[in-house]
Amino acid sequence: MTENPDLIIDGLQYCNWSRRIFEDMRDGGVTTVHVTISYWEDFRETVARIVEWNRRFEDFADLIAPVRSADDLRRAQAEGRTGIVFGAQNCSPIEDDLGLVRVVHDLGLRFMQLSYNNQSLLATGCYEAEDPGITRMGREAIAEMNRVGLVIDMSHSAERSTLEAIEISERPIAITHANPASFHPALRNKSDRVLAALAESGGMLGLSLYPHHLAGGSGCTLEAFCEMAARTAELIGVERIGIGSDLCQDQPDSVVRWMRNGTWTRALDYGEGSKAQAGFPPQPEWFRCNRDFKGIAQGLRAAGFDAAEVGKIMGGNWLAFFERSFGPQPGRT
């Protein structure tokens, strides 16, 4: 793999997709984005989301292209189009059918969280009171995800489940969008113990720009974010971090209500928010949309990273991870 200094890869977005957002990506130099296609969607509903994306790939062919491999990413970059990688923030797309792991991979899914905020059939989410770790089906699913090349994402999972997923998985896993809890002690952020295990196994952490994951929330400064990146690089190595903005551009507040509540509860669950702050929080003024990534690169330089390191954080590390993660597991059929 040759040096690719202009890479900008975002480890997670869930925007209200439109031509304007795809133009922002182009104008902002965004190479590829991992986009969420499912939160609570079952298999059939996930397929409906894929059908919608296939239509977008036709309607906006001048701006975006599907990415299922590192080669696809490089091709899209060469064509001046932003690559789109599909992912799910829950295991709902595979329902209770292990055979669907390969099917969703065939349909282009490259990341799947083993749980969202709640207990799933595979693992525990960070808002459950108890975390029993990876379930019987979870162990089967991890082996199957390893086999086909579907990356295990534990961004919303609870501590023990995350540690066990790292240990059980034979391939590196990802936490596509979260920050160290030492930076901001949100339930969604990760302990030093999790980060150390993640790094030791060759996994990736996508640093989040979602205000509830930031010290100071929406008022967090670019400097504070980039200093956190520097401390995290010292802790787990610069090769282990990337960006996972969790950008939800142009989404109405009804979407964050649905993300939190799905169809599982009668009472309103506020997740990371609160009754007083129930909607999407405002983005920091230095990261409002897909045009703002280059400002982060500048901030990282100012925080002491050299140009090569900034290139790795902004995209090189994710590309290397995609390269070794999206294909079948060597030695398994």
Residues that bind its own copies (CB under 8 A): 40, 42, 92, 95-99, 118-121, 124, 127-133, 135-137, 140, 143-144, 262-267, 269
Shortest spacing between CB 129 and its own copies, in angstroms = 8
Query: Among residues 212 and 260, whose Cβ is nearest to its own copies?
Result: 260
Shortest spacing between CB 132 and its own copies, in angstroms = 3
Shortest spacing between CB 16 and its own copies, in angstroms = 23
Query: Among residues 96 and 234, whose Cβ is nearest to its own copies?
Result: 96
Query: Among residues 32 and 92, whose Cβ is nearest to its own copies?
Result: 92
Q: What is the DSSP string of 146-198?
A: HHHT-EEE-TTB-HHHHHHHHHH-SS--EE-S--BTTTS--TTSB-HHHHHHH
Q: Which stretches does DSSP call E strand in the chain?
A: 9-13, 32-38, 64-66, 82-88, 109-113, 151-153, 174-175, 204-207, 241-243
Cβ pair 189, 215 in contact under 8 A: no
Structure tokens at 23: 């133009």
Shortest spacing between CB 312 and its own copies, in angstroms = 37
The residue with tokens 């640093």 is 207
Strand partners, 174: 153, 204
Query: Among residues 42 and 250, whose Cβ is nearest to its own copies?
Result: 42
Query: Among residues 266 and 275, whose Cβ is nearest to its own copies?
Result: 266
Shortest spacing between CB 171 and its own copies, in angstroms = 17
Shortest spacing between CB 315 and its own copies, in angstroms = 35
Query: Among residues 78 and 267, whose Cβ is nearest to its own copies?
Result: 267
Shortest spacing between CB 82 and its own copies, in angstroms = 32
For 157, list phi and psi in degrees, rounded to 5: -85, 160
Query: Among residues 118 and 191, whose Cβ is nearest to its own copies?
Result: 118
Q: Give CA–CA dist 48/51, Å, rounded.
A: 5
What does the DSSP 8-state code read for residue 240?
Answer: G
Structure tokens at 223: 């400097």
**What is the radius of gyration, based on Cα positions, of the chain?**
18
Number of residues that make up the chain? 333
